[in-house]
Amino acid sequence: MKSNAIYTERRQALAAQLADNSVVWVASGAEKIRNRDVEYAFRPASDFYYLTGFSEPDAVLMLKKQLGKLTTGLFLRPKDSEKEVWQGRRLGVEFAPQQLNIDQAWEISELVDTGFSLLTDVKTVYVSFSELPDWMETLSEWVVLHKANSRKGDESIQAIADLDPVLHEMRLIKSEAEIAILRQAARVSVQGHLSAMKSVASEKFEYQVQADMENTFKQRGAPRVAFNTIVAGGDNACVLHYTENTAKIHNGDLVLVDAGAEFGGYAGDITSTFPANGQFTRYQAALYELVLATQKAVIQQIQPGILFEELQKIAVENLTQGLIDLGILSGKRSVLIEDEAYKPFYMHGVSHWLGMDVHDVGAYKKAGQSRPLQAGMVLTVEPGLYLPKSASEVAEVYRGIGIRIEEDVLVTDSGCEVLTAGLPRTVAEIERWMMANRH
Ligand SMILES: [Mn+2]
């Protein structure tokens, strides 16, 4: 089997679901300036990569379905020996069709003119509505030109349609090949988190723990992270998307690490929380075990048929009961849940889809109803509790503590499989592991 056969199959599977006499446009995206002559590292848009396996910027895939037959084209950067010396190699128009198994290729500069000529007899144009602003100018030009031509007798474009619902539904259900890669991404991420637990120490900076973890990601075959790493000591863990990672870790702090490797284009996403000095205080331990028990309760229920929103309900019930037991909330559980009394301490969702994007694509609801899980979906389970230093309503012993525990879970025919298994997770396991593995 040719290595690019998987992309060909995906393009065909997508086309089979589209209206006849239609064209699809999917862009890889443009490089972004970081400062002056420096660009951010480029990563192609996941939709584009999913359908092409091609990772250059300034490329656009075209699929045309006419009388049930699919033809494919690619607009991309031309070969340019001088630019390639400075900026890196390019595939080029000549080699693209054979290399990527597409019918025809053109230079990206021809997108508007050649793209327009490809729209003859096309009634529906599909683009991702999440990228509609980027397409607006080109689409308007095409529609206007098309309308002018229709006076010569051609039929004109009748609809601009959203590609997302079709393509993202495909991406939501993972194939065996994708699951194998996600399993690797999970494994590499687990190894990185073990490195973080080994590296952590009082008086170290958060970014130093990050460096040791990300070194393991890279050494094990993941060239980049799936999202910006969070290493948050003490109170910083109460900032949900803390990515500065510039503070010093203090003795007695818990450290929250939310990080994942991107392996083969797919994301791992793990959160671990562990003590800087290897020992939980009894208050930290009590909160930690509550979050862990909540996570277990959610994972236990994951199987085909359960509604996505049920997972959040299970998390809220468990966390609220635990906060009552610890004396942090008081009152009747059902009333506290109704009043969302847990919200100051648990303000996010317990899960999201996982795939090429860390917050992967795919609808969570269908026709306004939470959708049932089905085999082949991959999702995270990540309950948390956050009691910042500023939470004066909470007993002082619990303040300055942020805890989240996150695993990646595959829905299987019979239930689920935790892809990120293998980390020490209970208080006892973590303390034992840190005692045994740190200098
Ligand atoms: Mn996550």
Q: What is the C-alpha separation between 121 and 76, in angstroms, rounded? A: 24
Ligand 1 centroid to residue 384 C-alpha, Å = 11
* CA contacts within 13 A on the Cβ side of 290: 26
Taking residues 293-309, report their average pLDDT: 98
Percentage of the chain lying above the pLDDT 90 cut: 92
Choice among 47, 235, 382, 407 that is catalytic: 382
pTM, to two decimals: 0.95
Instruction: Give me the pLDDT at residue 26, please.
Output: 98
As a whole number of Å, the CA-based R_g of the chain is: 25
Q: Is 154 a catalytic residue?
A: no
Q: Is 262 a catalytic residue?
A: no
Q: Is 406 a catalytic residue?
A: yes
Instruction: Give me the pLDDT at residue 380, please.
Output: 98
Taking residues 302-322, report their average pLDDT: 98
Instruction: Give me the pLDDT at residue 147, please.
Output: 82
């997108």: which residue's tokens?
A: 111
Choice among 49, 346, 386, 398 that is catalytic: 386
Q: Is 43 a catalytic residue?
A: no
Name the residue among 167, 182, 222, 131 with its Cα closest to residue 358.
182
Ligand 1 centroid to residue 243 C-alpha, Å = 14
Choice among 352, 360, 407, 408 that is catalytic: 352
The CA–CA distances, whole Å, from 57 to 10, 44, 104, 293 equal: 21, 6, 18, 45
241 in Cβ contact with 193 (< 8 Å): no
Q: Is 425 a catalytic residue?
A: no
Is 162 in a helix, a strand, or coil?
strand
Q: Could you give the residue range(s) of every CATH 3.90.230.10 domain in the chain?
A: 173-437
Q: Is 250 a catalytic residue?
A: no
Percentage of the chain lying above the pLDDT 70 cut: 98
- The fold of 5-170 is Creatine Amidinohydrolase; Chain A, domain 1 (3.40.350)
Choice among 224, 359, 432, 438 that is catalytic: 359
Would the pLDDT of 2 be above 60? no
Helix ranges (H only) for 1-45 are: 5-16
Residues facing residue 248 across a β-bridge: 205
- 50-86 per-position pLDDT tens digit: 999 999 999 999 999 999 999 999 999 999 999 988 8
* Burial bucket for residue 26 (CB in 10 Å: 0-12, 13-18, 19+): buried
CB atoms within 10 A of CB 140: 11
Q: Which of 81-85, 207-211, 337-341 has the least mean pLDDT?
A: 81-85
Q: What is the C-alpha separation between 130 and 162, in angstroms, rounded? A: 8
Q: Which two tokens stand for residue 436?
A: 């045994």
Q: Is 258 a catalytic residue?
A: yes
Q: Is 352 a catalytic residue?
A: yes
Q: Could you give the residue range(s) of every CATH 3.40.350.10 domain in the chain?
A: 5-170
- 393-405 per-position pLDDT tens digit: 999 999 999 999 9
End-to-end CA separation in angstroms for the chain:
49
Q: What is the C-alpha separation between 196 and 97, in angstroms, rounded? A: 44
Choice among 58, 206, 258, 408 that is catalytic: 258
Question: Mean pLDDT score of the chain, rounded to an integer?
Answer: 95
Ligand 1 centroid to residue 389 C-alpha, Å = 24
Question: Which CATH architecture best describes the domain 173-437?
Answer: Alpha-Beta Complex (3.90)
Ligand 1 centroid to residue 318 C-alpha, Å = 19
Ligand 1 centroid to residue 119 C-alpha, Å = 41
Q: C-alpha angle with apex 142: 137 to 144, nearest 5 degrees?
A: 95
Taking residues 270-297, report their average pLDDT: 98
Name the residue among 24, 10, 172, 222 with its Cα closest to residue 100.
10
Ligand 1 centroid to residue 382 C-alpha, Å = 7
Q: Are strands 69-76 and 104-107 parallel, antiparallel or unpaired?
A: parallel
Higher per-residue pLDDT: 86 or 269: 269
Taking residues 276-281, report their average pLDDT: 97
Choice among 58, 206, 235, 269 that is catalytic: 269
Q: Which two tokens stand for residue 363?
A: 């609808």
The CA–CA distances, whole Å, from 276 to 165, 259, 400 equal: 44, 17, 14
Q: Is 137 a catalytic residue?
A: no
28 in Cβ contact with 75 (< 8 Å): no
Taking residues 340-360, report their average pLDDT: 98
| Identity of the residue numbered 62 | M
Choice among 206, 406, 407, 408 that is catalytic: 406
Ligand 1 centroid to residue 261 C-alpha, Å = 12
Choice among 43, 220, 333, 348 that is catalytic: 348
Instruction: Give me the pLDDT at residue 1, please.
Output: 44
- 133-190 per-position pLDDT tens digit: 999 999 999 988 888 877 677 677 899 999 999 999 999 999 999 999 999 999 999 9
